[in-house]
Amino acid sequence: MSAVPGLFISFEGGEGSGKTTQIRRLEAWFRLRGRDVIVTREPGGSPGAEEIRNLLLTGDPGRWDAVTESLLMFASRRDHVERTIRPALAEGKVVLCDRFADSSVAYQGFGHGLGADFIRNLWQIAIGGFKPDLTLIFDLPVEVGLERAGARFANISAAEDRFERMGTEFHQRLRNGFIEIARNNPERCEIVDANGDIQLVYDRMISVVSTRLSGRGL
């Protein structure tokens, strides 16, 4: 067990919100401050979870019903938590995760209509309600996000674009879901305006992180 406490930060948001770009920039920010950092993702983040990722993110949008999709997500998540996240935190590392359980609340709970309570029950069963220390929710209009996501996948064959193809109404429910999550969890969640260029969004993110973690020696 490390004498330095670990720190778990999740990155959330709709498709094309720029999470992946900003997570790498925050990694560099922490490393400049002498912290050991791992960057991981969901679904995925461990060998078993990466196998489940392929089942979830490829194929026809209707490949799974909402309940099956949720069970696969949490099977992947449990393996990820037990094999990757908890060990890294025990070693005092900063864990930056591209999506975590809030994505299941937003995608399957709000997007597919299962309801937030259904997902929170699975969350408790699968990982005991384990949560990040801080969750950054990158928010921007649905049309902008889908345009960005479409450009990203345009030249990639067999792209992991199953969720991007679920339609504008689904993605609007998703965005509303993330906003509701932030409203209901103010002690943990912060919305970051993802409109604007990379540097502007980065500056907003660092302002949030610096403020939220000011008492943790950063």
Helix (H) or strand (E) holding 62: none
> What is the signed CA dihedral for 196, 22, 148, 152, rounded to 10 degrees?
150
Rounded distance between C-alpha atoms, residue 125 and residue 100, angstroms: 15
Q: Which of 168, 151, 212, 139 is nearest to 61 (CA)?
A: 168
Q: What is the pLDDT along the chain (218 residues), one digit of tens a residue?
A: 667 899 999 999 988 888 989 999 999 999 999 999 999 999 999 999 999 999 988 888 788 999 999 999 999 999 999 999 999 999 999 999 999 999 999 989 999 999 999 999 999 999 999 999 999 999 998 888 777 766 554 544 446 556 556 578 888 999 999 999 999 999 999 999 999 999 999 999 999 999 999 876 56
Exposure string of 81-118, with b = 16+ CB inside 10 Å and e = fewer, is beebbbebbeeebbbbbbbbbbbbbbbbbbbbebebeb
19 assigned binding-site residue: yes
DSSP state of 166: G
145 assigned binding-site residue: no
Res 41: pLDDT: 97
Structural domains for the chain? 7-213 (3.40.50.300)
13 assigned binding-site residue: yes
Rounded distance between C-alpha atoms, residue 120 and residue 117, angstroms: 5
40: phi then psi, degrees, rounded to nearest 5:
-135, -175
93 assigned binding-site residue: no
Res 16: pLDDT: 80
59 assigned binding-site residue: no
15 assigned binding-site residue: yes
Q: Which two tokens stand for residue 172?
A: 């609007």
10 assigned binding-site residue: no
Res 122: pLDDT: 97
Alpha-carbon 192 to chain mean position = 13
Res 1: pLDDT: 61
Q: Which two tokens stand for residue 127?
A: 């990982």
